[in-house]
Amino acid sequence: MSKTGSDLATRLLVAIALIGLAAVALWVGGLGFWLVIAPIGLLMIGEWADLHGATRQQRRLSQYALTVPLAIMAPGLAAGPGFLALGLVIGAAFFVAAVTRRSELAAGVLYVGLPVLALLALRAQAPAGLLYTFWAMALVWACDSGAYFAGRAIGGPKLAPAISPNKTWAGFFGGVAAAAAFAALLVIWFGLPIVLAIATPILAVFAQIGDLYESLLKRRAGVKDSGNLLPGHGGIMDRLDGLVAVAPIAALLVLLLVR
């Protein structure tokens, strides 16, 4: 097998493993879901610190600070994903800022902590928490896929060449259209509330903004990937950049408009 073929096979196997892990964790919910996404959050804050040139001590401090609110979010073992956890995420950000004197590291606590809290809060919504969380996560995947295929098939003007040279306007609109179509199917098949389906194209825009923002961070840091934990895929942030932007907004929409 050629090196290109081997790399593609590795990338495919890792992708299948990631999808399987996400599906099982999402289906189990509760503590099982937390046991997956809380460690992912700690890995992400480490990558964020590395992208911002943090020292080893600053990196560890950011992870330790985030550990407290993540622990409080544990369903059934602690307070769970609520206002206490939100306050502790904000408090952890202030703590990191005060100790390190680096506001960008404090911002990383919010960048990671708020999406984790949002996903746990979505999954905890009875009786449709599984549907809401799947919608928030999978619309990002649909957007990414639509953007990729539309960009490859149509090409055309670049979306933000100074940040991400491969992204095109065709891919941008293809991603929005794919996410909207996916939401429409969820309405038909599983009864997703219409208001969430209507909001989906806007969330798809935020998903792509999140992708571009992470690309900007990597460009500033002079690296191709946020990490090397996932063979063929880079780091955790590389795979979840769109979801980071979408999850908090999706949770607010559900809590304010659906409950």
pLDDT of residue 128: 95
pLDDT of residue 1: 46
- The answer to whether the beta carbons of residues 175 and 147 sit under 8 Å apart is yes
Residue type, 211: D
| 6 has pLDDT over 60 | no
Give the helix/strand (H/E) hosting 168.
strand 164-168
* Separation of alpha carbons 44 and 116, rounded Å: 11
Vertex 53: Cα angle to 110 and 216 (nearest 5): 65
Q: At 12, is the pLDDT very low, low, confident or very high (cuts 50, 70, 90)?
A: confident
Query: Mean pLDDT over residues 238-255, rounded?
Result: 95
| 230 has pLDDT over 80 | no
| 234 has pLDDT over 60 | yes
pLDDT single digits (tens) 154-206? 988 999 999 988 899 999 999 999 999 999 999 999 999 999 999 999 999 99
Q: At 13, is the pLDDT very low, low, confident or very high (cuts 50, 70, 90)?
A: confident
pTM value is: 0.94
Q: Token pair of 4, please? A: 């290109």
The reply to whether omega before 81 is within 30° of 0 (cis) is no
Cβ-based neighbour number of residue 3 at 10 Å: 7
pLDDT single digits (tens) 38-87? 999 999 999 999 999 999 999 999 999 999 999 999 999 999 999 999 99
Kindly report the average pLDDT of the chain as a whole number.
92
Give the helix/strand (H/E) hosting 26.
helix 3-28
| 5 has pLDDT over 80 | no
